[in-house]
Amino acid sequence: MNELRIIFMGTPDFAVPSLEILIEHKLNVVAVITAPDKPQGRGLKISRSPVKDCAAKHNIPILQPTNLKAPEFLETLKSYNANLQIVVAFRMLPEVVWNMPAFGTLNLHGSLLPQYRGAAPINWAIINGEKETGVTTFFLKHEIDTGSIIFQDVETIKPDDDAGKLHDRLMYRGAELVLKTVKAIEKGDYPSTPQNENVEIKHAPKIFKETCEINWNQTSEQVYNFVRGLSPYPTAWTRINDKVYKIFSVKHGGFMQHKNVGTIETDHKNFLYFRTIDGLVSIEELQPEGKKRMSIKDFFRGNKI
């Protein structure tokens, strides 16, 4: 048995179940590294990361470096004598950090690598209409998301999944996989399989607001997948009469050939349809600028197109 001393690195909600499950199983997490506190919202109230809150609850030492190459941070990191580092939804690490522990640094990724390498694997799997995805643990190396695979677990993408629902299922499935991986390393019996580079690899680049605009010159199925792949965050959007509307949920509105792609049909009470290249898409939930998210019926109670 290997006596593990673990440093855990993560920031958002997605990483919390992985940290919690290690603590629950009495694994030796000697420190947690997370993002610095930052002001958020209109009042610029200082916000702590979910991982920081979790670590504080369990009285685990917390490091919040702004520079991962800073000599003082590296000295502090070395002082913990960790022999395994675990990364879940953190930032890119310099080699001097990921190469420090004897057993290496493992990462949890929200896809079945080598597919969907990149910052937004959950979103892109849905946008591209995939029927399944999963989680992967692998060892970090120079090129992002390319290290040797330890374990994988498959998750079905349901027809009505959006990015939020799939995120939450993968968050807990990933935590179980992290535990399985750490237990295998503890026993000294674990696979380390190079990724298959001889396949066509789909990527999952970071998503920006400008790339979230809906392209109505697509099929209704493509628009449906695009909207749910960006819901509830960062959210697809479109313009109606020069105003921006976030679109959270849509349904198929029927198939037919249309020439006037992007135009709308509505009774100003119960429905709002957009025309795609092969039919209609029904807007179910939206958010006008400066207002809250609402159903289309609630929208028409106080607004008109």
Domain match, 20 and 158 both: yes
- pLDDT at 9 (0 to 100): 98
Band (259; pLDDT cuts 50, 70, 90): low
Band (119; pLDDT cuts 50, 70, 90): very high
What is the C-alpha separation between 240 and 288, in angstroms, rounded? 10
Give the tens place of pLDDT for each residue, 197-226.
999 999 999 999 999 999 999 999 999 999
Domain match, 173 and 218 both: no
What mean pLDDT is predicted for residues 29-49? 87
Q: What is the pTM of this model?
A: 0.94
Domain match, 183 and 37 both: yes
- pLDDT at 283 (0 to 100): 97
Residue 28 has which token pair?
A: 């030796």
Domain match, 143 and 285 both: no
From 187, 221, 239, the end of a domain falls on 187
- pLDDT at 211 (0 to 100): 94
Domain assignment of residue 140, yes or no: yes
Q: Please name the residue that has the structure tokens 């947690």.
A: 32
Domain match, 138 and 248 both: no
Domain match, 91 and 150 both: yes
List all residues 6 or more positions away from 243 whose beta carbon is below 8 Å from its beta carbon.
288, 289
Domain assignment of residue 276, yes or no: yes
Q: What is the 3-state secondary structure (H, E, C) of 28-56?
A: CEEEEECCCCEEECCCCEEECCHHHHHHH
Band (253; pLDDT cuts 50, 70, 90): confident
State the CATH number of the domain containing residue 109: 3.40.50.12230
Domain match, 105 and 178 both: yes
Specify binding-site residues.
Answer: 111-114
Q: What's the structural domain count of the chain?
A: 2
Domain match, 177 and 239 both: no
What mean pLDDT is predicted for residues 66-84? 98
What mean pLDDT is predicted for residues 254-277? 86
From 120, 155, 187, the end of a domain falls on 187
Domain match, 153 and 213 both: no
Phi, psi torsion values for 132, nearest 5 degrees: -150, 155
Domain match, 171 and 230 both: no
Q: How far is CA 223 from the centre of its chain?
A: 20
- pLDDT at 17 (0 to 100): 98
Greatest Cα pair distance in the chain: 69
Domain match, 75 and 172 both: yes
What is the C-alpha separation between 109 and 95, in angstroms, rounded? 19
Give the tens place of pLDDT for each residue, 275-293.
999 999 999 999 999 999 9
Question: Is the Cα dihedral 90, 95, 101, 106 positive or negative?
Answer: positive
Angle between helices 163-187 and 16-24 (to 10 degrees): 40
Q: Exposed, middle or buried, 52 (CB in 10 Å: 0-12/13-18/19+)?
A: buried
- pLDDT at 262 (0 to 100): 87
Specify binding-site residues for (6S)-5,6,7,8-tetrahydrofolate.
Answer: 111-114
In this predicted structure, the answer to whether residue 63 has a pLDDT above a threshold of 70 is: yes
State the CATH number of the domain containing residue 221: 3.10.25.10
Range of the domain at 231: 209-302
What is the C-alpha separation between 305 and 300, in angstroms, rounded? 8
Instruction: Give the mean pLDDT of the chain.
Output: 95
From 155, 187, 219, the end of a domain falls on 187
Domain assignment of residue 182, yes or no: yes
In this predicted structure, the answer to whether residue 258 has a pLDDT above a threshold of 70 is: no
Domain match, 38 and 177 both: yes
In this predicted structure, the answer to whether residue 178 has a pLDDT above a threshold of 80 is: yes
What mean pLDDT is predicted for residues 149-156? 98
In this predicted structure, the answer to whether residue 257 has a pLDDT above a threshold of 70 is: no
Q: Please report, rounded to a whole number, the percentage of residues in the chain having pLDDT higher than 90.
A: 90
